[in-house]
Structures are given as C-alpha cells and as structure tokens.
Amino acid sequence: MVADCVRGTHERRGVNADAAVVEEIADALVALLDDGAMAHDGAIFRTVIDAIADPIFVKDEDHRWILLNQAFCTLIGHDREQMLGKSDYEFFPKEQADVFWQRDAQVFVSGEPDENEEEITDIKGRVHVISTKKRMFVDAAGNKMLVGVIRDITERRKLEARLKVAERLMSLGTLAAGIAHEINNPLAYLMANLEFVEHELERAATGDRAGAFDPEWLSAMRAARDGAERVRTIVGGLKTFSWTNEEELEAVDLGEVLRTAVRLVSNEIRHCAKLVEQFDAAPLVWANPNRLGQVFLNLLINATQSIVVNDTSQNEIRLVTGTTTDGRALIEVHDSGAGIAEENMSRIFDPFFTTKPVGVGTGLGLSICHNIVEAFGGHIEVDSVVGCGSVFRVVLPAALAHQTPAPMEAIDAGAAASVEARGRVMIIDDEPELLSGLSRLLSRSHDVVTLTSASAALARLLANTEHFDVVFCDLMMPEMTGMDLHIALAEQAPEYLDRLVFITGGAFAPHVRAFLEDIPNTQLLKPINTRLLRELVRERVAARE
C-alpha cells in the first residue's frame, strides 16, 4: 500500500517528492498504524522512503524522531540509529532548535499544515537552505504525530541569486546603451563646433590678423577638442556593455578594439601593474566590435583582479597580437597574478563558477567570453601556473577577402587626386545645435540646407525645385522618422534613395536593426567622425558631376 502510494507519486512527479507527498505519506502512515501493518510492513516502508531523494521525518508529540529516511540522515550528517528517539536540541544549536520546536508545536496545536523556508547547518558546517512541509496526524491510539518532507533548495537559491545578477548585468547593458545615445547628440555638435573654431583659428594664425593672434587660443582649442574626442571614445566604450548590436558583424581591427578596452580599465591597471603592449601584425576578423570589446574587457579585469598589489613595478599585464601559422588572428592576455589551481582549470569557463569572494565576481565573465569567441568561429584557451600567472589565448579566423573594406588610404588618394567640387547638402535632425555645428563645418565648401522635420524635408525633396547631392537624416525623430522618410522616398522619389545617409546615436530597437540590415544605405554613428563626413560629401558630390 505504502509502496504503491510512493511509486505513484514518483511516476507523476519525477524523482523528487513535492508538497503532495506530505499528504500521501501521512495518510499511508495513519492507515498502517490503524491496521497494525507497521509490524509486518515496516521493512518495506523503510525501503521505499529510503529510495526517495527528499528528506522525510516523523516526530511524536514530544518532538522526538520516530522515523527517518536515509536522505534526512545524509542531510543532517548522522546515522539513523544516532537520531531515532532524540530531538533537535541534540543536533542543532539551541537558537535553531528553539525555532524548530516552536513551529512543530504550532502544527501539533492547530492541526493545520505548515510550510516554511529556513537554514540549517550540517555536521560539517555547511549551510543548507531548506523548504519544509509538515502535517500532523493522529494514530489509532490517539497519539499525535508529525510528518515532514524537506526539499534542499540551496543550489536553487544560489542559481536564482546568480540569475538576478545576470539580469542586472543585462539591465546595465541597456542603461549603458541609452546613456551613450543621450550623450552622443550634444557631443556630436560640441565636436563639430570645436573643429570649426579650430579651423577658424588656424586661418587667423596665418591671415591678415596674425599679428594680433595669440597662439594660446589655438592650443586651448586643440586641448578642448582632444578632450571631446576622449569623451567620444569613452561613450563608444559604453557600448561594450550593450548587446543591442550583437548581430551586426564587420571586419574588425583587433588592435583598435584592444586599445578601447584598455582605456576603459586603464585606471585599474595603473594601480596594480605595468601594461606592456606587443601588437604585431594580425589580420582583420569578421565579428562584432562591441562583443569582442566585451571579451577583452573581461580578460583585462580578470588579469587585474588576479594580481596581488604590492610592488606595482614588479607586476605586469602584457597584451600580444599576432598571426598563427595557419593565418588566424591571435590575441594573448598575460598576467603575473596568482594563477589558477589545477583542480579549477576544467571549470573556469563554466557559467557561475568563480573562486572570487562574494560580491567580487559573478562567475559569468569567462563563460560569456567563451560563448562570444565561439560564436565568431574561434576558440579561447588558458595556460596557468599557480604563483606565476596566467595566459588567456584567443584565436579567431581572419576575415575573408570580400568582407574586408578597401583601405582608407586608397579613398584618400582618389579624393586628393580630384579638385573638390561644391555640392548641395541637406541635413535633417531634430537637434538644432547639431544642425548648426554640421552646417558650420561643411558650409565653406558646400551649400548646406538644414531641417528639423523629416516631413518638411520630404515636401522639399518632392517639390523638385532644387538639387541635393547627399541627404543626411537622423534615424529616430518624432512624428516622421528616418525610416519613414526612406519608405516615402522609395514610393515617390526613388532617385533620392541612394543619396540618403543615416546618422544615429545608436541604441537601436530590434525593428530598427532589422530595417538597417535590409537596406544598403550608409550609416554614420554620432558623434560623427568629421573627417569621414567631409570625405563622404566630397565623394558623393564628385560622383554626381
């Protein structure tokens, strides 16, 4: 009878018993006691409950254990014979035993089932989080008894805590992308205006007013522009934390991505070790620069955290790039840290595995690195010696010939060979200051029209009373977006489609990414690289002569 009850529960719910087992076991015990079957069926019953993975116990009204299964004995860390007829006070600290006694007494008095979560410490000092479900029953002689089923949820609670950390990391990525997007607009017109003023100061330094010119003006302006460029780099680095563009692949210069990662963690490196860069020639790789940046950033952070800070001059983090014998790209991150114990080497890429103290590491970093590198067709490996340091080695396949863009030098040479022609440029953006900055930057060489509304721009283009060689348009604007403008032009003025260039601050929603992947139009990210902007306009104007 009891065996059939427990067997049926396992068939319905799997190996571990759940809440309903309390009811079924209690009912079975009552039946056994009522008909006196315990005497001849007791051995079978113990065999059955010992096969259940969840701990089970039965107490009498004096709070003494009268029945235990093997899983309960294993959890507490004592043999069955040691525990039968004893109470919690003989195996747990008094404060903890008091809590167990009070909860059991409440079930005995009320007759109502009880469920709670609590922590217990086993004989080896390990803390377990347990969920206990209890029910009181009365045997044929009128004795009150309590049956309890325990589930050890320690690992589940740890996993939930780690998942919460992972969710926070994902939220951080979304937040970082949003911050970068908000900063990019003002930064774009700040840099455009700084470059414009710098050019004006350079002209003044060599023109008729050179005698009244103070060289410090130009020096200060260049310092301001360098500072803005540094902010632009930091904002770009924030995208390392964002997964919003993870599906966009391009030919990536590993040295450039590594330098960006170094800038983000340079303060931490400076206070623990000297940085050595050994950037030998490496091929471009077909990947996402933000995701690769995340890999290198994680490896650098791990390197800094592995180093015991004493004499900084004796500590070293070395970055190496190169090419393998079969033509693949090689990146190595060396550190002179504590190294990794041999017993942990096989687990370092496992999700949530970490040897760092609580609050220092999540155990996600290396697992994420491993997944990213493998997604790009590469692999990551590690060599380590305890007390001497570690070397993390990333190997990635080289970008194929058709994936590699034409060298910038070739574009520059072609542009320089021709006399720059004056063109007509339209710029559409809902940020007036950005329009002013870009207009100042281009208006000496070209006729520039600026508009804050895509619908007004569409009307002007459809009027067909003036010609524009290139149309720059912000991607996301109120009322009519750049995507809406593209759709309208495709229907009403398709001749302008190949002249449309999108400018954007990033942080794309999924439908925006899908749109950009489906169209061939050029995209410029804010803050705009002004050199590329000028070259693009020059190229488009020359093509329409």
pLDDT reported for residue 149: 86
pLDDT reported for residue 501: 93
Tell how strand 144-152 and strand 127-138 pair up. antiparallel
416 in Cβ contact with 438 (< 8 Å): no
| Count of other CB atoms within 10 angstroms of residue 290 | 25
Cα separations (Å) of 160 from 350, 352, 357, 359?
A: 16, 11, 18, 15
- Tokens for 133, please give them: 């479900």
* Closest CA relative to residue 501, chosen from 486, 482, 479, 522: 522
| Count of other CB atoms within 10 angstroms of residue 301 | 17
Q: Tell me which residue has tokens 């991505």.
A: 257
| Count of other CB atoms within 10 angstroms of residue 525 | 17
Q: Is 464 exposed, middle or buried (0-12, 13-18, 19+ CB in 10 A)?
A: exposed
Q: Tell me which residue has tokens 């019953």.
A: 45
Domains along the chain with CATH numbers: 2-152 (3.30.450.20), 246-409 (3.30.565.10), 418-543 (3.40.50.2300)
Preceding peptide of 527 cis, ω within 30°: yes
Rounded Cα gap, residues 296 and 254, in angstroms: 10
**pTM for the structure as a whole:** 0.43
Sequence-distant (6+) residues with CB within 8 A of 51 are 6
Cα separations (Å) of 486 from 267, 461, 507, 533?
A: 44, 12, 20, 20
The gap between the terminal CA atoms of the chain, to the nearest Å, is 95
pLDDT reported for residue 4: 43
* Closest CA relative to residue 148, chosen from 46, 17, 59, 237: 59
* Closest CA relative to residue 149, chosen from 253, 92, 71: 71
143 in Cβ contact with 136 (< 8 Å): no
Cα separations (Å) of 507 from 50, 147, 222, 293, 476?
A: 56, 56, 30, 17, 10
pLDDT tens-place values along the chain, 545 residues long: 443 444 333 343 333 444 455 556 555 655 554 555 454 456 777 787 788 888 889 899 899 998 898 988 888 888 889 999 999 898 888 888 888 899 899 999 888 888 888 787 776 777 888 888 888 888 767 888 888 888 888 888 877 776 766 666 565 555 666 666 667 767 777 777 777 777 777 777 676 655 566 677 767 677 676 667 666 666 665 555 554 444 567 888 888 889 888 887 887 888 888 889 998 889 999 888 878 888 898 899 888 888 877 666 788 899 999 999 889 999 999 998 888 888 787 777 776 656 655 444 545 568 778 888 888 889 999 998 888 889 999 999 988 765 555 443 333 434 443 456 889 999 999 888 888 888 888 888 899 999 999 999 999 999 988 899 999 999 888 889 999 999 999 999 999 999 999 988 765 667 787 888 888 888 887 777 777 888 889 888 888 76
> Which phi and psi (to 5°) does residue 331 adopt?
-130, 130
> Which phi and psi (to 5°) does residue 490 adopt?
-60, -35
pLDDT reported for residue 410: 37
Rounded Cα gap, residues 524 and 184, in angstroms: 12
Q: What are the helix (H) ranges across 376-520?
A: 408-417, 432-442, 454-463, 482-492, 510-518
